[in-house]
Structure 1
């Protein structure tokens, strides 16, 4: 889910400047939720920032109007559904959950200011779309705020914090597993070339680190094609990779770039199988001219099974989501949003059992969860902040006939290369 997101180094510098400007203005407020502000209710539960006797306030920093608007909408609505159903069942620790949403439109200034606004008001964040935006405030989160943040982003730059916790495999691990699929299932072999089309910035370059490692382990050659998020026509990239004679292609970009690449490749006769990171697909693409090509020769590496998988958990979520949002399409953003919210909820329940609903208490509670079943084919271990919660990757294939537009072609698996790899190392 970036979301597998990216900004240029110039944008990163802008984020740093914004952070410097806003940090001073919010520092006094951030400290109000620290140990000096902690209290205990009549049941002996310690509480702090964002928690009252009747409510637990959480935040969501999303993109509902920018480049990842469809994803942000699905993630947010799934989390609102989680909150509604949890509250209907009595809440958590005798308290109702309140979710405050801010749309940053994938704009760095709005993202940082949104965090600055909400952080003093909430216990933590069930989502924060955009790895560069999370990275921009990570030092503040670790140093003074200490509120749990579950990003919809999977960069290794976010690892190492007890408070910013990546749910699922990181971009590099996911890409290693994707290349393993190309070798085991699609005929790519030692000595072959693999094209890698990737966004400049955090998302693409982290994924590229994974493909380079996989290539080194398997004796492959990576043919790199760096692009910008504004590059929507992949004709030049297809031509370059066809000329290079690649036997497979990895795409670490957005849905538009993936659709363009696969469509152009089909038109010019590049028959190499193409696999994208999980944010490089949207089911809405199946209704475009690229739809037929996507169903024939495109695959998606995903941290979980899709929304349309044939399990009781999936069927229940589909039914509940369709009842709540009957006019909105189902996609894997629903799974990502629901999983993140339920992980946060599980940490809240364990913190309640320990009678500590402070920010630090919730962070400690998450560290005790070592086998969380997401209900979508993946288990998560949160005991090590330096590691993603899972190294498992599910391989999907677009299929317009199934709910959510993708079907499973390889269940959750960890490749040998992914087991030996150190994320970010």
Structure 2
């Protein structure tokens, strides 16, 4: 009789466990399903491919070691073409079709802005999106887990750094005409207001533009000695080359969105001297850190190209997710994952990537940036880590 009761109890317990698995989107007893939305065909497809590759390489490493509490990670990748409308369709497919537990490393500020309300409504984590907007972490929400300070506050911090080094007199801005570019512009204007300065010129361009002749002519006519370029990879290179073509040589400050090894690779020595802010270091094959060199060698062997910044973003994102999911334990739910996240402090890793800290009222994982400058064709650090005013108005 006793064994029958025990068997019944065991069956009930098994049934309850199976019921929990069935009720938790993206989680079974064998796997955790994760969505990836990135650009594989648009203006920043190189970044998107790097990010996807970095994520997949880390997922394969984790799965080869047994996964997370016995569950394998499975990535479902969708292309947003760097287009908010495509991002919405991709998100709907991942959330309602693939039933993902979280979306990891979604690339693009405007694309993220377009889908964030839908993710929150459906209780799916937007985990370490590869964009920088204050809305990604403020106001706080359990399903917001932001990677970086907003472009506004990175622009404010990096401009303040340059103005402390040199008193630039005539400052102009070239910015992408979308949420990302507007955020950069707002950050510049915020810092100039604090310094009792004003812009002498501001010009915009449409996402994907290739001709910057009119914009650079206006900035040259205003005699700018410093131009902040709120652009991504190709647009930064195109605009700087246009400036060189017309004999216009101001100091150039760009954002983390254009902090990429492709900038000097595509633009050549014309890119030397450009400043940018970021926080995760580029994984160069000749890095003095042996862990970075080993990572770069493994990546290059697998994908037949050197890793880039977004490769490291992808690796960092999956690694952080897996460590938190492991802390959440076998009973993985959005609630247990969030509780583990809010009670866990991840220290900087062996690559030199930053630590990870998120609380109930602070959904921004990384709050400090470092200044870099292109010297002899490579981005080199020129500052220590600098605190940003990430929660200012």
Name the TM-score, length of structure 2 as normaliser.
0.85
1:363-382 pair list within 5 angstroms:
363-374=338-349, 375-382=351-358
- Give the match for residue 269 of structure 2: 292
Superposed displacement of residue 174, structure 1: 1.1
Relative contact order, higher structure (CA 8 A, sep 6+): 1
Counterpart check, 1:208 vs 2:185: yes
- Give the match for residue 123 of structure 1: 101
Cα distance in 1 for residues equivalent to 2:359 and 2:290: 28
Do the aligned partners of residues 254 and 152 (structure 1) sit closer, same or farther apart at CA in structure 2, a change above 3 Å counting? same
From 155, 158, 166, the counterpart of 1:175:
155
- Give the match for residue 356 of structure 1: 331
Do the aligned partners of residues 67 and 393 (structure 1) sit closer, same or farther apart at CA in structure 2, a change above 3 Å counting? same
1:40 aligned counterpart, secondary structure: helix
Do the aligned partners of residues 107 and 377 (structure 1) sit closer, same or farther apart at CA in structure 2, a change above 3 Å counting? closer
Do the aligned partners of residues 259 and 324 (structure 1) sit closer, same or farther apart at CA in structure 2, a change above 3 Å counting? same
Gaps of 5+ in 1: 1-37
- Give the match for residue 196 of structure 1: 173
Superposed displacement of residue 39, structure 1: 5.2
Cα distance in 2 for residues equivalent to 1:62 and 1:146: 17
RMSD between aligned residues = 2.6
What's the CA shift string for 1:249-292, capped at 9, x where partnerless? 1111122221122223334343321011122254334344x311
Cα distance in 1 for residues equivalent to 2:26 and 2:16: 12
Superposed displacement of residue 214, structure 1: 1.2
Superposed displacement of residue 179, structure 1: 0.5
Gaps of 5+ in 2: 1-14
Name the TM-score, length of structure 1 as normaliser.
0.79
Do the aligned partners of residues 236 and 125 (structure 1) sit closer, same or farther apart at CA in structure 2, a change above 3 Å counting? same
1:377-416 pair list within 5 angstroms:
377-384=353-360, 386=362, 388-399=364-375, 405-414=378-387
What's the CA shift string for 1:305-329, capped at 9, x where partnerless? 221253244223212212221x223
Cα distance in 1 for residues equivalent to 2:361 and 2:291: 27
Cα distance in 2 for residues equivalent to 1:266 and 1:321: 35
Superposed displacement of residue 205, structure 1: 0.8
Cα distance in 1 for residues equivalent to 2:263 and 2:391: 34
Counterpart check, 1:280 vs 2:258: yes
Cα distance in 2 for residues equivalent to 1:305 and 1:122: 30
